[in-house]
Amino acid sequence: MIPTARQAKIANIIRQRNRVSVNDLAEVLDLSKETIRRDLTELARLGKVHKFHGGASLPLISGEGPFRDRLSQNVTAKVQIAEEALKLISPGETILIDTGSTTLYFAERLAEIPNLTVVTNSTKIARIMSAGSAPARTFLLGGEFNGDNRQTIGSMAISQVQLFRAHHAILTIGALDSRTGVMDYSVEEAQLARAMIEQAESLTLLADSSKFEQIASFEVCGLAKVTNLVCEKPPSDKMKAALLNVDVNILSATQ
Q: Residue 231: what pLDDT?
A: 96
Residue ranges with strand state E in 18-65: 19-21, 50-52, 55-57
Distance CA 72, CA 80 (A): 14
Q: What is the pTM of this model?
A: 0.76
pLDDT means per 10 residues in the chain (255 residues)? Answer: 83 84 93 93 80 79 48 73 94 96 90 94 92 86 86 96 98 94 95 98 95 94 97 93 97 84
Q: What is the number of other CB atoms lying within 10 angstroms of the CB of residue 26?
A: 16
Q: Residue 225: what pLDDT?
A: 97
Distance CA 84, CA 252 (A): 7
Q: Are 10 and 25 in contact (CB under 8 A)?
A: yes
Residue ranges with strand state E in the chain: 19-21, 50-52, 55-57, 94-97, 117-120, 137-140, 144-146, 151-153, 166-172, 175-177, 181-184, 200-206, 218-221, 228-231, 249-252
Q: Is 226 left (phi over 0), alpha (psi -120 to 50) or beta?
A: beta
Q: Are 56 and 14 in contact (CB under 8 A)?
A: yes
Class level of CATH domain 67-252:
alpha beta
Q: Residue 62: what pLDDT?
A: 41
- Residue extent(s) of CATH 3.40.50.1360 domains in the chain: 67-252
Identity of the amino acid at 240: K
Q: Residue 63: what pLDDT?
A: 40
* pLDDT tens digit sequence for 202-224: 999 999 999 999 999 999 999 99
Q: What is the number of other CB atoms lying within 10 angstroms of the CB of residue 203?
A: 23
Distance CA 55, CA 72 (A): 19
* pLDDT tens digit sequence for 88-109: 999 999 999 999 989 998 998 8
Distance CA 240, CA 10 (A): 34
219: β partners: 183
- Residue extent(s) of CATH 1.10.10.10 domains in the chain: 3-57
Distance CA 103, CA 82 (A): 8
To the question of domain 3-57 being in CATH 1.10.10.10, the answer is yes
Bridge-based pairing state of the strands 175-177 and 181-184: antiparallel
Q: Residue 44: what pLDDT?
A: 82
Of 101, 39, 32, 106, nearest to 73 by C-alpha is 101
Cβ neighbours of residue 69 closer than 8 Å, sequence gap 6 or more: none
Distance CA 102, CA 81 (A): 8
Identity of the amino acid at 132: G
